[in-house]
Amino acid sequence: MKFFIDTANLEQIQEAYDLGVLDGVTTNPSLMAKEGIKGVQNQREHYVKICKIVDGDVSAEVIATDYEGMIREGEELAALDPHIVVKVPCIADGIKAIKYFTEKGIRTNCTLVFSVGQALLAAKAGATYVSPFIGRLDDICGNGVRLVGDIVRMYRTYDYKTQVLAASIRNTKHIIDCVEVGADVATCPLGAIKGLLNHPLTDAGLKKFLEDYRKVNG
């Protein structure tokens, strides 16, 4: 399973990259706003900075919600760096735009996906990635992980090449759950990735090894 980090924070992206396990980055307008990056030019420069850190796919989301606007914006974003994947919302004009980008060889991430039906349309349009939102479904008493598994099975049944990118991951357990249902990618906050390292038996075992070493070696 590939690991993306779900942030626009350069320090966190660098930290995840330095860990040696990072395959890419996802951003969205809220994450960009959280970093206080204002204005189109600054935002585009920020995407380029992210691409310079990571040797992998970097999702940059269009703001336009109409077909022509998405095409214009998506082509500009894609031209920033070869690592950019154009992130497009799962609405009718978005599906049309994904089809257009697919034919142009521009990679896409179909975002805000909450059903198998939406994922089917994204795959038929040729999306590179589809992003089912786990946490937001769980927030309304849905089952985000089950949706990820359902999409994985549907894509395998029909041999769609679209990769299932589990998004809106809120904790480390979500990551493990995604492994169990066969997600291709999980995009996670840094804390959830680092949480994978935690195990009390690792800490206790290491403590004992070092104590025993010191008993003999001083």
List residues binding ligand E4P (CB under 6 A).
Answer: 6, 26, 28, 111, 131, 133, 135-136, 167-168, 187
The residue sitting closest to ligand E4P, measured at its beta carbon, is 168
Q: Any idea which residue has 């990679």 for tokens? A: 107
- State in angstroms the smallest separation of the CB of 18 from ligand E4P: 22
- State in angstroms the smallest separation of the CB of 139 from ligand E4P: 8
DSSP string of the chain, one letter each residue: -EEEEE---HHHHHHHHHTT---EEE--HHHHHHTT--SHHHHHHHHHHHHHH-SSEEEEE----SHHHHHHHHHHHHHH-TTEEEEEESSHHHHHHHHHHHHHT--EEEEEE-SHHHHHHHHHTT-SEEEEBHHHHHHTT--HHHHHHHHHHHHHHHT---EEEEBS--SHHHHHHHHHHT-SEEEE-HHHHHHTT--HHHHHHHHHHHHHHHHHH-
Choice between 112 and 152, CB closer to ligand E4P: 112
**Contacts for 131 with CB less than 8 Å, ≥ 6 apart:** 26, 87, 109, 110, 111, 112, 113, 165, 166, 167, 187
Q: Which of 2, 38, 52, 87 is the catalytic position?
A: 87
- State in angstroms the smallest separation of the CB of 202 from ligand E4P: 28
- State in angstroms the smallest separation of the CB of 140 from ligand E4P: 12
Choice between 106 and 186, CB closer to ligand E4P: 186
**Is 161 marked active-site?**
no
Choice between 100 and 133, CB closer to ligand E4P: 133
Choice between 121 and 188, CB closer to ligand E4P: 188
- State in angstroms the smallest separation of the CB of 84 from ligand E4P: 14
Choice between 111 and 163, CB closer to ligand E4P: 111
Active site residues: 87
